[in-house]
């Protein structure tokens, strides 16, 4: 087992970590929603993204303007291109000022350049003063979270650390521990020669830095010592003083669900020291590859980050494994991206694979950064530079050859039969056994949909729709395809199934194999684009997303612009099942059975990631189920990923399994006898889970429930 897998295993086996993080992540979503009551978050983040994107596009100009204005007010501004330059400058200031002790408030930039180690090597005593930072300093660890650095530790662990620090046996009483921190650090604030802070915002127009804190330590760090050094990443620059208002509205709400933190300090140039002398203020504007990011057409948007850590807080993976699996400085979704740039692309090789691409982070990012898309881009660049692992290469060689691929799926149906019991494969041999840990896999259907389709007789219809089945419906759940045909026929639509359709390319794309995904796209365009059909309908949101958005994106990223028109034409016709059926009902072409509301019993609905977050179609299936006579009862965290994530559950089954367990629990707790969803991948994951769980909850695609309602009518 490699070090990365070991770190995952250790994190998952740490009950303190998973317990504390799990509880926090559940409460966070509720509290954050409350903090945003009455606020138009989309409008707010549009404003922030616009001002930060503008700043990222004019970094040099804004840095110059900031320097001029801050220096006019007595600050010294040093522009450091590298971590080494920043460290050297700060060491120089400390030496010149005869600095013996330093107090620090929280600064991720200082973690980025490992500043404490450099200062300590030069014989200067450094005290972190943010409670969380002090805890991890005492523990000799690195922060696991940008805002809550010690969230992975228990009060007992903190009591042990503090007991050693103050040489007194302390209990795990939290108010007492906080009082010990206050009493221990207070004399250090008063004695320190230098204070080091970060900055949350730097304003070019005024030369001001803005610090957002809760504990009050930054006020002491910037007021009491005679020298103040602020270490600021250049991405913190904004142009205008007015730009700070939207950031100050979103940052506390996103970070800690507060309307505003206890303290915000806006510091502009020199202020008087307590002895009346003017304070030395040094502002280090650090680049460390940020300008290179700004010049990258994809990654420039990562500079819109305000470091709120919301992407960590909502990440279903982060809450299981915590920060340290991601690395030593920046963690979570945005951390993966920053590590790839500030450290090295190669350093993100393992951690980019932690992302299941559920898109939860993208929904809450106040800088509107498409974090999942940037992680995909990292994956693509890694594969471009280092190639695919041999096993994946072999798999994609097959996926890229449709007759071979489909032939193998048919063969698998026969080969797996001795292993399967009923509709499931319960155990897989040897190294594959992790795949059936907590979940049964569906047996490959004896007769795939493509063969069954030929035997379906359809009534004469005026309109035609192409059905894109996707691999799961074609080879594992052909009955879903048959139900779809019945439903569309009732609306007067004949279903066409072009046999040359193949894999939608998502598995290849999620592995960074864009050339394979492009070949899949070309094959599918050839098979699916047909002037005589009005729609291309799919009952798999991942496939729908591929057809509607990703074919074009893959062609664009590979420069295959000659295919863009066809990709657009296909996208225009593509629609997911529930959206299409809703449209047909609204047009009066399909009638659901009249009858008493709630006649069909209770069902809970699981939001599939792509249906909700890329197709934004989460209301359509809910309406359909209600119209069909079901009572809908919502589960807790209905839109949290079930852990399937395509091949994710095969690459990282140890993470996917607890995600599944949490989802199963939330479904069970509704008491509903059935759960509906729009994705055959989720169906596979949840059916497999309930098969081993034995709770007897029925797992259905929405179309199966609609089909039953229509057949009973």
- Binding of other proteins by 323 (CB under 8 A): no
Residues binding other proteins: what is the number (CB under 8 A)?
A: 67
Stretch that binds other proteins, among 216-224, 478-486, 573-581, 588-596 (CB under 8 A): 216-224
The nearer residue to other proteins, 206 or 578, going by C-beta atoms, is 206
- Binding of other proteins by 569 (CB under 8 A): no
Give the C-alpha separation, 99 to 675, whole Å. Answer: 64
The nearer residue to other proteins, 146 or 656, going by C-beta atoms, is 146
| Interface pick for other proteins out of 138, 165, 178, 527 (rule CB under 8 A) | 178
Least CB distance to other proteins at residue 155 (A):
5
Closest CA to 229 of 380, 69, 92, 434: 92
- Binding of other proteins by 203 (CB under 8 A): yes
CA atoms within 13 A on the CB side of 525: 22
**312 and 331 Cβ atoms separated by less than 8 Å:** yes
| Interface pick for other proteins out of 59, 90, 115, 224 (rule CB under 8 A) | 224
Q: Around Cβ 391, how many Cβ atoms within 10 Å?
A: 8
- Binding of other proteins by 461 (CB under 8 A): no
**183 and 257 Cβ atoms separated by less than 8 Å:** no
Q: Around Cβ 280, how many Cβ atoms within 10 Å?
A: 19
The nearer residue to other proteins, 68 or 95, going by C-beta atoms, is 68
| Interface pick for other proteins out of 8, 181, 360, 469 (rule CB under 8 A) | 181
Residue in the block written with tokens 């992540």: 25
- Binding of other proteins by 267 (CB under 8 A): yes
| Interface pick for other proteins out of 9, 54, 114, 155 (rule CB under 8 A) | 155
255: its two tokens: 């970070």
The nearer residue to other proteins, 69 or 520, going by C-beta atoms, is 69
| Interface pick for other proteins out of 197, 265, 288, 542 (rule CB under 8 A) | 265
CB environment 185-212: b (16+ within 10 A), e (fewer): beebbeebbbbbbbbbbbbbebbbbbbb
Give the C-alpha separation, 41 to 474, whole Å. Answer: 41
- Binding of other proteins by 482 (CB under 8 A): no
The nearer residue to other proteins, 177 or 473, going by C-beta atoms, is 177
62: its two tokens: 């804004």
DSSP code per residue over 233-253: EGGGEES-GGGHHHHHHHHHH
Least CB distance to other proteins at residue 112 (A):
20
Give the C-alpha separation, 150 to 128, whole Å. Answer: 13
The nearer residue to other proteins, 271 or 661, going by C-beta atoms, is 271
- Binding of other proteins by 154 (CB under 8 A): yes
**679 and 540 Cβ atoms separated by less than 8 Å:** yes
| Interface pick for other proteins out of 14, 101, 141, 223 (rule CB under 8 A) | 223
Give the C-alpha separation, 307 to 290, whole Å. Answer: 15
The nearer residue to other proteins, 215 or 545, going by C-beta atoms, is 215
- Binding of other proteins by 216 (CB under 8 A): yes
Contacts of 448 (CB under 8 A, 6+ apart): 406, 409, 410, 413, 474, 475, 478
Stretch that binds other proteins, among 53-61, 263-271, 532-540, 624-632 (CB under 8 A): 263-271
- Binding of other proteins by 260 (CB under 8 A): yes
The nearer residue to other proteins, 216 or 389, going by C-beta atoms, is 216
User: CA 630, 633, 639, 640 torsion: positive or negative?
Assistant: negative
Least CB distance to other proteins at residue 156 (A):
10
Least CB distance to other proteins at residue 217 (A):
4
- Each residue 14-33 as x (binds other proteins by CB under 8 A) or -, in order, gives ------x--xx--x------
Q: Would you call 179 exposed, middle or buried from its count of C-beta atoms within 10 A (0-12, 13-18, 19+)? A: exposed
- Binding of other proteins by 350 (CB under 8 A): no
Angstrom CA distances, 603 to 184, 475, 612, 677, stand at 56, 27, 18, 10
| Interface pick for other proteins out of 67, 129, 436, 604 (rule CB under 8 A) | 129
| Interface pick for other proteins out of 149, 332, 442, 512 (rule CB under 8 A) | 149
Q: Around Cβ 663, how many Cβ atoms within 10 Å?
A: 25
Give the C-alpha separation, 579 to 697, whole Å. Answer: 26
Eight-class DSSP state of 592: P
Q: Would you call 710 exposed, middle or buried from its count of C-beta atoms within 10 A (0-12, 13-18, 19+)? A: middle
- Binding of other proteins by 102 (CB under 8 A): no
Least CB distance to other proteins at residue 267 (A):
6
Give the C-alpha separation, 399 to 503, whole Å. Answer: 7
- Binding of other proteins by 189 (CB under 8 A): yes
Stretch that binds other proteins, among 5-13, 265-273, 589-597, 609-617 (CB under 8 A): 265-273
The nearer residue to other proteins, 73 or 423, going by C-beta atoms, is 73
Least CB distance to other proteins at residue 265 (A):
6
380: its two tokens: 């693509």
Stretch that binds other proteins, among 82-90, 256-264, 391-399, 502-510 (CB under 8 A): 256-264
Footprint (CB under 8 A) of other proteins, residues 39-98: 69, 72-73
Stretch that binds other proteins, among 152-160, 329-337, 345-353, 384-392 (CB under 8 A): 152-160
Residue in the block written with tokens 């939001």: 607
Give the C-alpha separation, 338 to 290, whole Å. Answer: 9
By CB under 8 A, name the binding residues for other proteins.
20, 23-24, 27, 69, 72-73, 129-132, 135, 148-151, 153-155, 158, 174-175, 177-178, 181-182, 185-186, 189-190, 203, 206-208, 214-217, 219-220, 222-224, 241-242, 244-245, 248-249, 256, 258-274
């Amino acid at each position: 087992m490699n070090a990365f897998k070991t770190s995952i295993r250790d994190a998952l086996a740490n009950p303190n970590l998973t317990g504390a993080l799990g509880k926090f992540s559940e409460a966070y979503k509720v509290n954050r929603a409350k903090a945003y009551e009455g606020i138009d978050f989309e409008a707010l983040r549009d404003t922030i993204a616009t001002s930060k994107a503008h700043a990222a596009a004019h970094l040099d100009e804004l840095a110059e303007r900031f320097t001029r204005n801050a220096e006019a007010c007595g600050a010294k501004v040093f522009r450091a291109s590298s971590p080494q330059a920043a460290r050297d400058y700060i060491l120089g200031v400390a030496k010149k000022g005869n600095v013996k002790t330093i107090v620090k408030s929280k600064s991720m930039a200082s973690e980025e350049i490992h500043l404490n180690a450099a200062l300590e090597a030069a014989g200067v005593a450094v005290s972190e003063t943010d409670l969380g930072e002090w805890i991890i300093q005492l523990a000799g660890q690195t922060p696991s979270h940008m805002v809550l650095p010690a969230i992975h530790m228990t009060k007992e662990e903190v009591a042990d650390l503090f007991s050693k620090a103050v040489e007194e046996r302390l209990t795990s009483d939290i108010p007492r521990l906080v009082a010990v921190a206050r009493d221990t650090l207070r004399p250090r604030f008063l004695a320190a020669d230098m204070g080091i802070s970060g900055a949350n915002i730097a304003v070019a127009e005024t030369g001001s830095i803005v610090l957002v804190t809760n504990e009050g330590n930054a006020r002491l760090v910037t007021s009491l010592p005679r020298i103040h050094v602020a270490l600021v990443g250049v991405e913190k620059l904004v142009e205008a003083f007015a730009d700070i208002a939207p950031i100050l509205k979103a940052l506390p709400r996103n970070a800690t669900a507060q309307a505003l933190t206890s303290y915000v300090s806006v510091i502009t140039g020199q202020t008087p020291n307590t002895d009346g002398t003017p304070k030395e203020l040094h502002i280090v504007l650090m680049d460390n590859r940020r300008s290179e990011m700004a010049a990258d057409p994809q990654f420039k948007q990562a500079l819109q980050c305000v470091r709120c850590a919301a992407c960590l807080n909502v990440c279903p993976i982060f809450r299981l494994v915590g920060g340290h699996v991601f690395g030593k400085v920046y963690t979570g979704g945005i951390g993966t991206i920053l590590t790839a740039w500030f450290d090295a692309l190669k350093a993100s090789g393992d951690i980019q694979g932690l992302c299941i691409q559920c898109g939860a982070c993208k929904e809450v990012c106040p800088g509107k950064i498409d974090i999942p898309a940037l992680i995909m881009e990292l994956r693509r660049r890694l594969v471009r530079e280092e190639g695919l692992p041999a096993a994946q290469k072999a798999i994609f060689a097959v996926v890229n050859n449709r007759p071979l691929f489909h032939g193998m799926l048919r063969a698998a149906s026969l080969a797996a039969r001795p292993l399967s019991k009923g509709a499931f494969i319960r155990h897989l041999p040897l190294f594959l056994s992790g795949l059936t840990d907590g979940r049964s896999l569906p047996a490959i259907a004896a007769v795939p949909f493509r063969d069954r389709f030929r035997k379906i007789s359809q009534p004469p219809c005026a309109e035609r729709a192409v059905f894109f089945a996707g691999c799961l419906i074609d080879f594992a759940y052909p009955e879903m395809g048959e139900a779809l045909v019945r439903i569309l026929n009732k609306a007067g639509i004949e279903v066409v199934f072009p046999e040359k359709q193949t894999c939608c390319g998502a598995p290849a794309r999620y592995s960074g194999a864009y050339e394979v995904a492009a070949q899949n796209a070309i094959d599918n365009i050839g098979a699916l684009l047909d002037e005589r059909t009005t729609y291309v309908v799919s009952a798999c949101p991942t496939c729908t997303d591929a057809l509607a958005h990703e074919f074009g994106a893959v062609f664009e990223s590979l420069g295959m612009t000659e295919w863009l028109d066809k990709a657009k034409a296909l996208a225009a016709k593509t629609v997911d099942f529930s959206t299409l059926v809703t449209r047909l009902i609204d047009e009066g072409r399909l009638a659901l059975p009249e009858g008493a509301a709630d006649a069909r019993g209770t069902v809970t609905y699981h939001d599939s990631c792509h249906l909700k977050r890329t197709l934004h179609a989460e209301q359509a299936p809910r309406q359909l189920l209600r119209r069909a006579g079901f009572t809908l009862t919502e589960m807790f965290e209905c839109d949290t990923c079930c852990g399937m994530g395509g091949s994710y559950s095969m690459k990282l089954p140890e993470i996917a399994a607890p995600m599944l367990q949490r989802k199963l629990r939330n479904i069970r707790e509704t008491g509903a006898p059935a759960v509906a969803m729009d994705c055959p991948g989720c169906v596979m994951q949840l059916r497999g889970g309930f098969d081993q769980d034995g709770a007897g909850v029925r797992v259905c695609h929405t179309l199966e429930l609609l089909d039953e309602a229509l057949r009973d009518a």
